[in-house]
Structure 1
Amino acid sequence: MLGFTQRCLQLKLLYIKKGIWFLAYSPEQHPIVLQIGGNNLENLAKATELANAYHYDEINFNCGCPSPKVAGHGCFGVRLMLDPKFVGEAMSVIAANTNVPVSVKCRIGVDDHDSYNELCDFIYKVSSLSPTRHFIIHSRKALLNGISPADNRRIPPLKYEYYYALLRDFPDLKFTINGGINSVVEVNAALREGAHGVMVGRAAYNFPWQTLGHVDTAIYGQPSSGLTRRVILERYQEYGDSVLGRNGNNRPNVREVAKPLLNLFYSEPGNSLWKRKADSAFQHCTTMKSFFEETLVAIPDSVLDSPIEGVPSGREDLFANVQDLLPSPYDVREQEAVYA
């Protein structure tokens, strides 16, 4: 699932109408998934209808965000895991308003509702009440007792054994693993244990060169191309200048187009100066060409022109003992009696 792009649209129609430009993307971004969130069936239907014109490859429903604005006052995101019947209804509404596959992204539990059986109940009910056949599993539970979203990505322990038990107990469904996977070495380790797909999130954003520089060879088996960051940025300049202001009202602007690049030189000489120059350039640059001309002087040629080197690092044994930790198989008989 590397290369699987996901956008999140918070479901207030006022925001949708003001920010509809955000739904647009370049054809090069396929496959691309739109993630929507909310707790109003009518609004979910309208948001899905709005997305149809943009031809996303999949619509994903957010049942995993622990932010207080979402799971607290908003009462959606991960809090919806406590109401699988509603999630099943929501997924049916979303599916009825699109012709592309639908999926759910969730955690493995919420607060004290964190047993494997409760997770299975959620998966079983949602898949029984809707056409949902793909779940993206963040292998941590969420804590809604006031800790920050950032802490929710590191404090609750990872339980990969829950994910692999889902593969065993729901063989007709597709599951993608997420959480704590930070390199292509760890992606391959998950795939070797049978994962259907792997989502890499923060690591790909925070350390894009280190995380993604080996993807073509390590994941997809392609020969090394000797690709450098200078070449990447030359191609990105062409792409960026082609999309600037495309959606009216000067959106997207240089800052928005350049944002995915800001960690490209993480830990390299010139990185701090590059970021300071970028902050300044955002105030007046109107093209990606001018942005790069003003900022890349901070980065030595040796950094710009060096291809990714060495063997990718990572924990090859991340899932070594996971099969020994699997919880007892889920008994669906009681659920089948209810949802027959």
Structure 2
Amino acid sequence: MDEMSENMNHRLCVAPMLDWTDRHCRFLHRQLSRRTRLYTEMVVAEAMIRGDRDKLLGHDPIERPLALQIGGSDPIRLAEAARIGAEFGYDEINLNVGCPSDRVQSGTFGACLMRSPDLVAEGVAAMIQAVGGAAAVTVKCRIGVDDQEPREVLPDFIERVSAAGCGIFIIHARKAWLKGLSPKENREIPPLDYALVHEVKAARPDLRIILNGGIASLAEAEAQLAQGLDGVMIGRAAWRDPVSVLASADRRIYGEEAPDADPFAAAEAMRPYLAARLAEGWKLNTLCRAMIGLFHGRPGARLWRQRLSEGAAIRPGAGLEVFDEALAAMRAEVLRAQDAA
């Protein structure tokens, strides 16, 4: 597979998650899967234009294939943000049309844009023109909001936005309730409608359709892919238990003949990265947040979490010694479990 085809593959994606999928999380995930598509946290277009771009957009090339998710509704600002993102080397610029939080609504973007498909289409067209082929422009949306009827709204939304040039849609298969439900409740309470997403794919085989919402394992992802979807996006399961979601993904999802990633090897591969970021002034607890679940379900996992999270948070100026101690303790626990077996 050539580089362009690989960078456009969405068979398995890790969802953009605010405060979770930062560059440190993505670097860890890349140690577990070479092929899974990774996404940034949502970055507001206005912040990209006016803020510290290196801080907001900085990433390691190893994170690719990598998508930048942006939030906004003004086509001029979206175009400028997309151009900046492409210049920073992102393979994809994704427009958020799915987040239901009050903060996003107050900025008139996110899920409330499901009510304004023509404005989304205008923004997408401006973004595509701005990047000039340097990155794909995609949309992540809901199936509707509030009292909208998804089977009427979603096909119309897809039709209008695809006519503007968008060929890739990531669809969270739930409505968003903009009043009365918290963002957490919006991820759990509105019922999932996978059938509607499959209907969209059947009606528009020319488009790439990726399913999001409620998928928590590779087995579930494989089942959805087997029914003809182009990709599946997994969210919090990839944070809580990254090994179960990502370690065998290259083999099971992408058909590569390669051994599954080992969490100890992934931890060792993180060590030089941690050292480099610590030297830049990052705090160990920030760097290691995404690593807390690395040994989920294994003997010693609780000890690993305690040593790493508490040590990083409590010790003044905590450095690599905390990480090394936690990893040594984890290895010892695994050996004890093996001896006892």
TM tier, shorter chain? 0.7 to 0.9
Q: 1:50-71, CA deviations, whole angstroms, 9 ceiling, x for partnerless residues?
A: 2233110010000010111112
Distance 1:5 1:274 in 2: 25
Corresponding position of 2:144: 109
SS at 1:177 equivalent:
strand
Q: Aligned partners of 1:223, 1:127: CA distance in 2, in Å?
A: 36
> What's the TM-score once normalised by structure 1's chain length?
0.80
Equivalent position amino acid for 1:214 in 2: S
Equivalent residue in structure 2 for 1:301, among 311, 325, 332: 332
- Alpha-carbon separation, structure 1, partners of 2:112 and 2:279: 37
- What is aligned with 2:116? 83
> Which whole-Å CA distance do the structure 2 matches of 1:244 and 1:279 have between them?
17
Q: In structure 2, what is the Cα distance between the partners aligned to 1:9 and 1:134?
A: 20
Are 2:122 and 1:92 equivalent residues in the alignment? Answer: no
**What residue number does 2:205 align with?**
171
Q: 1:125 to 1:239 in 2, by over 3 A?
A: same
- Report the equivalent of 1:55: 89
Change (3 A) 1:15 1:292: farther
SS in 2 for 1:122: helix
Aligned partner of 1:32 in structure 2 is 66
Cα separation, partners in 2 of 1:19 and 1:27, compared to 1, 3 Å: closer
1:173, CA displacement in angstroms? 1.2
- Identity value in percent: 35
Opposite residue 263 of structure 2, the aligned amino acid is R
Residue 135 of structure 2: SS of its match in structure 1? coil
Q: 2:16 matched to which residue of 1?
A: none
Unaligned runs of 5+ in 1: 308-340
Kindly tell me: are residues 192 and 281 of structure 1, through their superposed partners in 2, closer, same or farther at Cα, counting changes over 3 Å? Answer: same
Aligned counterparts, 1:310-329, within 5 A: none
What's the counterpart of residue 290 of structure 1? Answer: 321
Distance verdict in 2 for CA 1:244–1:127, change over 3 Å: farther
Match of 2:161 in 1: 126
Q: How does 1:177-326 map to 2 (within 5 A)?
A: 177-223=211-257, 225=259, 227-244=261-278, 250=281, 252-277=282-307, 278-282=309-313, 284-285=316-317, 287=319, 289-303=320-334
Cα distance in structure 2, aligned partners of 1:141 and 1:79: 11
Query: Which sits farther off after the overlay, 116-125 or 11-20?
Result: 11-20
Cα distance change of structure 1 residues 286 and 97 upon mapping to structure 2, 3 Å threshold? farther
Residues 222, 56 of structure 1: CA spacing in aligned structure 2 closer, same or farther, 3 A cutoff? same
Q: Which has the larger radius of gyration?
A: 1
Aligned partner of 1:140: which letter? R
What SS is found at the alignment partner of 1:150?
helix
Q: Distance in 1 between matches of 2:326 and 2:103?
A: 36
Q: Distance in 2 between matches of 1:304 and 1:27?
A: 35
Report which of the two has the higher share of helix: 2
Q: Indicate conservation of the 8 Å contact 1:134/1:173, yes or no.
A: yes
C-alpha separation in 2, matches of 1:304 and 1:176: 41
Structure 2: give runs of 5+ residues left out of the alignment.
1-10, 13-35
TM-score (norm 2): 0.80
Correspondence for 1:6 among 39, 60, 81: 39
Match of 1:334 in 2: none
Shift of 1:111: 0.9
Show CA shifts across 1:255-294 (max 9, x none): 333222121133444444433432432454565x334124
